[in-house]
Structure 1
């Protein structure tokens, strides 16, 4: 208990001579340094808020404007055209201030107003420039003069050396599409999925909606768009995520994988040390806004990225949890947390990651993690499977939390988990591509990251890091606070920093020295009554049934990648989406159904302030016509037509002209007004049997895929949206690799992750052969992956 005594700043004893104070200088030093770190963070936030508030100008430009105005005044000219004199007349000054001093003060006030006006004008100009999206619809390889001029103006008004949130005030608001356009695009998207009778009925419903209730709902939506930064995002977060009462495990949360072919160290504690330290380094950069804003290039051939994306989702990355409620959950975020929560063999620990205001080194974190691994204590009664509450239905968890975790020791322990920077699971299993059947082991790895044992993850945390016994790692992320690309940016940084910057010594341990006086990680205490344990068991049963029903298949397609697809002058994303359509069609034909399905492809809307996602309805008239023609051995012209249609739909979604978020918000308004729309009710109840998403590599500069191709992450995945459908996540890695993550449910006899994966491989090869026969290689087998190895 020596550490406990060190934490006490002073002690006192009562003696016959009076009170004897015994000060602990070490403890006081700890308190002082910890407080100093807190004040430094506040000052950094204050400084950054000032810099961001005046961007694209800089605070130093104010001094330049003041000096320029004063200099012109001393040349006996009045740049203010009499305004400085007017300010001087109304200046409340004391009689002791001289006339010259009053003039200087008035000039400074005028300079400040002029400076602020210039900043406002520059922001307004940049906002208008960023509202231009015609560049996205121009032909590949050709840029109009208008776009070239626009790009030059964006560079001029964008400023230099922006902080993470510098562009937030300059991003345009998401526009509300015309209701006529949305309904037209909707009807076009469902035409290939309906027969003539069904389509005629839906057209009539849409027409009645437009002529009656639609315009009334649209008016309210436009009013919200004028008032709010984004007319979709808050409702999307609340009604799609937080009000969902079913389990978030599998249904909402998603995962990210470690390197596919490399395990940097087989030592679990060492991998945890580097990984945790890398996450905390990212948090430090995030707090200081030192992360470069993510931006796009106007065309693939332009390496200079000038179009910024919204960074609002980054704010709740750390120190965040989803709190259950009986009707709706809430997302809670704390400004800071100097510890993480760790789970191992049924026990929960608080691990302090700062010592005297200093971030622990990777070697010190490894030392602390090893202490947890070696801890012989047993879980408290009911503690081992407590995490199942976050994996089951939300209402029982909300009731249990209110009844058993609102006071006493349980509240203190729960607060430790929820207020932690993030959650870490030290898993006793070994995962990764290994053994005699690496393909099957990769499927098990994906399932483990998505749901684990259903009680050894804390699914409510913004993200949970999983460190396996053999040194593999991964993460599981909660979806309501942000979308996958934001978490992927963090994950890329952590993987690259772990292997290429921090590294390991020859024995596989983290580098550096250890302060052996570090206080031991604190085991959390619980008092779980039998009634609560019964509810834990019920939640676990619900979660286990969901996990057991999940069929997963992960594979790397290495026959070709975006390199060959681009040589065929085709968008890689459109190519893959058409392959998915073809694969789904062939699977249904095998079951004597011959059908297409409503397809969801996620597209980001972060070109707009607080933008999140929009749906690209990838199944179109053009794609269906092409697939039917292909199966009948007809021409490739339809392929290009379908690809161009998909690219157009994707661009429309990115630029605020999508279908589904507009219809969703119209539906929310109708519910607030207490009116029913048969059209909207039917539209929003349509199942997404094919839900897809691409996870692109955003920080290519962190990975050297030419010299170190083995350092490849397999990406991540998610569960199926419909009980009789598929969830497909894919990542395009380098020039010659595409990773796929396929999920469905065993309970549906018509779906199978492996058979769908086989059809995807066949479809990719068939499409390449059709589009570029000279590029395809018939009967080519997939390249064998390199063996898993350690980076010494």
Structure 2
């Protein structure tokens, strides 16, 4: 997720997820070096100890009582004397000997060691514009174009001709683009791994995987002459797959929805059989997965969009499309005859901005192909994967269905297409669009709960070699002052407008710091990990109320900008939290909001309505105090 220092590019995607098995590390990082060798990017800097601790105190102040804050100040002061300086020295040494001091830590801690299921808790769903198909033939034709578009993007990756992205005049690390195709997460009981099969490696993948009615098909998308199949050829192959999958089969793919420990154990049982093991390896090696779904039922007026979001996020449950998936796969394109169109992606390999860019390219390609490719020669018929499912594995599938259905029932999802205005309005007020939206999210929460929420917004560090993200702490002293003022009739409109601008500016400055490698959350994480690695006690700073409260993100948010009317969605990161992803467009803002039904305090529809009101109130406040117009 990337973002311009001025605010224009903040494209993000949140979420915490799990570590990588050591045997795969060389393969992954060598591939990264190979593809990014032309880029001369700076290393991720190490912020000063004093700066991080000062920002930390300011960031936790709105969340604490006076007594709690006084205690935290003493704890931070003690940390600044011991062991802070020692840990800072250890981190500086690590930074000097690695391309990116955070990269391996973050992959392990945030993704591969994470033991919650990837579905709902980690994988984002992506909702693309609804398509209009007259029949199944037209659906498959679109799917063929979509795949062809993805292959044209892959060609740019393989030939290293993908245009280098920049933030202003500064190039951004392109390494993530070379990890999103032909890659897959592999479950482990204690820790997962990540496998990748980039072009140029021996026997690099030539196939995609197509899933329909829970059947898996290996579809070679290159002929024996090495040329990609054209749209007509892919279309004919998809028709063969449809003809061979008219009835559902046991949903092996639903095993990927389990907790990572449970799935890791089930995986070991599944691959004991040599045929099953070969099948799994074909899935893991595939370029991407195409899920040809059955339509989701519409349960009431105005519910189509919400069902659409559910389909891309988790499949709708075991009785619908959740078994028609392999959630460990980095990229799963999803399409059904009713026009539902989108994807689900596994987060360990990349952030949302890179996924959005590939998806924009493939969708544009599908709408208007520049020129039809010449037919490939030596086409291989699709191969259906046959499974040998033991009684133990069939029981694992049954348990996974039950667990998944409980998880699906617990998630509340709201799609909000806010049409009152878009990012052009914030620009007309000389305000950062992303910061404006984030302040509105603070106001929306405060209006419901009368307290500020600890908030995570993902900010890109791609200006540095192998950069991923750091946290933009959106809950600030200034945003809290503004939220309180909006509920106080004794405060004048001009004072409220001034507080609004101050809050937006504070967020913009914090974002600029994160983008320039001066965030605090990954720095603090490094201190904690270094203490553990060096046999030291975990510092008291990490046991303090302030730290635990500031890490309990009642709002986990991400700005993933796309050219299309597309929005990502993901789950909350805490039981009483919200997941909020948004795509700010010129004249509208598209939101996807999630919450857990098991928490009586949260409700995605309620928060969505409060967010819409907050945006309108802020818009009107600015117009009334400045006289500006859209």
Q: Is the structural similarity TM-score above 0.5?
A: yes
Instruction: Tell me the SS of whatever aligns to 1:772.
Output: helix
CA distance, structure 2, for counterparts of residue 556 and residue 528 of structure 1: 44
Measured against aligned partners, the alpha-carbon deviations of 1:616-667 in whole angstroms (never above 9, x if no partner) come to 1111111111111122142121111111111100001111111101011111
Q: Which residue does 1:232 correspond to in 2?
A: 102
CA distance, structure 2, for counterparts of residue 687 and residue 551 of structure 1: 19
Contact 1:426 1:467 in 2 (8 A): yes
Greater mean deviation of Cα atoms: 529-538 or 539-548:
539-548
Q: Which residue does 1:415 correspond to in 2?
A: 281
CA distance, structure 1, for counterparts of residue 228 and residue 369 of structure 2: 17
Give the drift of 1:377. 6.7
Residue 437 of structure 1, aligned match among 290, 293, 301? 301
Q: Which residue does 1:740 correspond to in 2?
A: 591
2:478 is the counterpart of 1:616: no
Q: Which residue does 2:616 correspond to in 1?
A: 765
Q: Over alpha carbons, which structure has the higher Rg? A: 1
Stretches of structure 1 lacking an aligned partner (at least 5 in a row): 1-132, 139-163, 298-305, 504-510, 589-593, 701-711, 778-792
Cα 1:289–1:212 shift into 2, 3 Å: same
Q: Which residue does 2:577 correspond to in 1?
A: 725
Q: Which residue does 1:658 correspond to in 2?
A: 519
CA distance, structure 1, for counterparts of residue 162 and residue 129 of structure 2: 23
Stretches of structure 2 lacking an aligned partner (at least 5 in a row): 8-33, 199-203
Residue 373 of structure 1, aligned match among 236, 239, 242? 242
Contact 1:250 1:719 in 2 (8 A): yes
CA distance, structure 2, for counterparts of residue 732 and residue 265 of structure 1: 31
Q: Which residue does 1:425 correspond to in 2?
A: 291
Contact 1:449 1:474 in 2 (8 A): yes
2:165 is the counterpart of 1:294: yes
Q: Which residue does 2:367 correspond to in 1?
A: 499
Counterpart mapping for 1:152-171 below 5 A: 169-171=39-41
Q: Which residue does 1:107 correspond to in 2?
A: none
2:482 is the counterpart of 1:626: yes
Give the drift of 1:219. 1.5
Counterpart mapping for 1:192-207 below 5 A: 192-207=62-77
Residue 483 of structure 1, aligned match among 351, 371, 385? 351
Q: Which residue does 2:116 correspond to in 1?
A: 246
Measured against aligned partners, the alpha-carbon deviations of 1:290-315 in whole angstroms (never above 9, x if no partner) come to 11011122xxxxxxxx2210011112
Give the drift of 1:723. 0.8
CA distance, structure 2, for counterparts of residue 502 and residue 447 of structure 1: 33
Contact 1:271 1:467 in 2 (8 A): no
Counterpart mapping for 1:569-580 below 5 A: 569-580=430-441
Instruction: Tell me the SS of whatever aligns to 2:190.
Output: coil
CA RMSD, Structure 1 to Structure 2 (Å): 2.4
Q: Which residue does 1:25 correspond to in 2?
A: none
Cα 1:278–1:614 shift into 2, 3 Å: same
Instruction: Tell me the SS of whatever aligns to 2:583.
Output: strand
Instruction: Tell me the SS of whatever aligns to 1:597.
Output: coil
Q: Which residue does 1:278 correspond to in 2?
A: 149
Q: Which residue does 1:362 correspond to in 2?
A: 231
Cα 1:566–1:689 shift into 2, 3 Å: same
CA distance, structure 2, for counterparts of residue 501 and residue 772 of structure 1: 44
Cα 1:136–1:373 shift into 2, 3 Å: closer
Contact 1:179 1:210 in 2 (8 A): yes
CA distance, structure 2, for counterparts of residue 226 and residue 517 of structure 1: 51
CA distance, structure 2, for counterparts of residue 136 and residue 732 of structure 1: 17
Give the drift of 1:775. 4.7
TM-score, length of structure 1 as denominator length: 0.70
Counterpart mapping for 1:580-599 below 5 A: 580-588=441-449, 594-599=450-455
Residue 542 of structure 2, aligned match among 664, 675, 680? 680
Contact 1:724 1:748 in 2 (8 A): yes
Give the drift of 1:676. 1.9
Measured against aligned partners, the alpha-carbon deviations of 1:519-578 in whole angstroms (never above 9, x if no partner) come to 431111111111111122222322221111000001211111122222122111111111
Greater relative CO (CA pairs within 8 A, separation 6+): 2
CA distance, structure 1, for counterparts of residue 310 and residue 274 of structure 2: 36
2:268 is the counterpart of 1:402: yes
Give the drift of 1:235. 0.4
Q: Which residue does 2:184 correspond to in 1?
A: 321
Cα 1:670–1:731 shift into 2, 3 Å: same
CA distance, structure 1, for counterparts of residue 368 and residue 596 of structure 2: 39
Q: Which residue does 2:381 correspond to in 1?
A: 520
CA distance, structure 2, for counterparts of residue 354 and residue 691 of structure 1: 41
CA distance, structure 2, for counterparts of residue 168 and residue 247 of structure 1: 37
Q: Which residue does 1:31 correspond to in 2?
A: none
Counterpart mapping for 1:60-71 below 5 A: none
Counterpart mapping for 1:254-265 below 5 A: 254-260=124-130, 262-263=131-132
Contact 1:339 1:352 in 2 (8 A): yes
CA distance, structure 2, for counterparts of residue 376 and residue 616 of structure 1: 47
Instruction: Tell me the SS of whatever aligns to 1:533.
Output: helix
Report the number of matched residues: 579
CA distance, structure 1, for counterparts of residue 94 and residue 185 of structure 2: 26
Measured against aligned partners, the alpha-carbon deviations of 1:206-260 in whole angstroms (never above 9, x if no partner) come to 1222211222211111111001111112101101110011101110100222225
Residue 314 of structure 2, aligned match among 451, 456, 470? 451
Give the drift of 1:517. 8.5
Q: Which residue does 2:557 correspond to in 1?
A: 692
CA distance, structure 1, for counterparts of residue 110 and residue 140 of structure 2: 38
Instruction: Tell me the SS of whatever aligns to 1:359.
Output: coil
Q: Which residue does 1:153 correspond to in 2?
A: none
TM-score, length of structure 2 as denominator length: 0.87
CA distance, structure 1, for counterparts of residue 612 and residue 247 of structure 2: 48
Contact 1:768 1:775 in 2 (8 A): no
Q: Which residue does 2:17 correspond to in 1?
A: none
Give the drift of 1:368. 0.8
2:197 is the counterpart of 1:334: yes
CA distance, structure 2, for counterparts of residue 753 and residue 373 of structure 1: 37
Instruction: Tell me the SS of whatever aligns to 1:728.
Output: strand
Cα 1:396–1:221 shift into 2, 3 Å: same
CA distance, structure 2, for counterparts of residue 514 and residue 175 of structure 1: 50
CA distance, structure 1, for counterparts of residue 594 and residue 159 of structure 2: 38
Measured against aligned partners, the alpha-carbon deviations of 1:498-530 in whole angstroms (never above 9, x if no partner) come to 102269xxxxxxx78988994431111111111
Cα 1:270–1:137 shift into 2, 3 Å: closer
Cα 1:263–1:623 shift into 2, 3 Å: same
Q: Which residue does 2:25 correspond to in 1?
A: none
2:532 is the counterpart of 1:671: yes
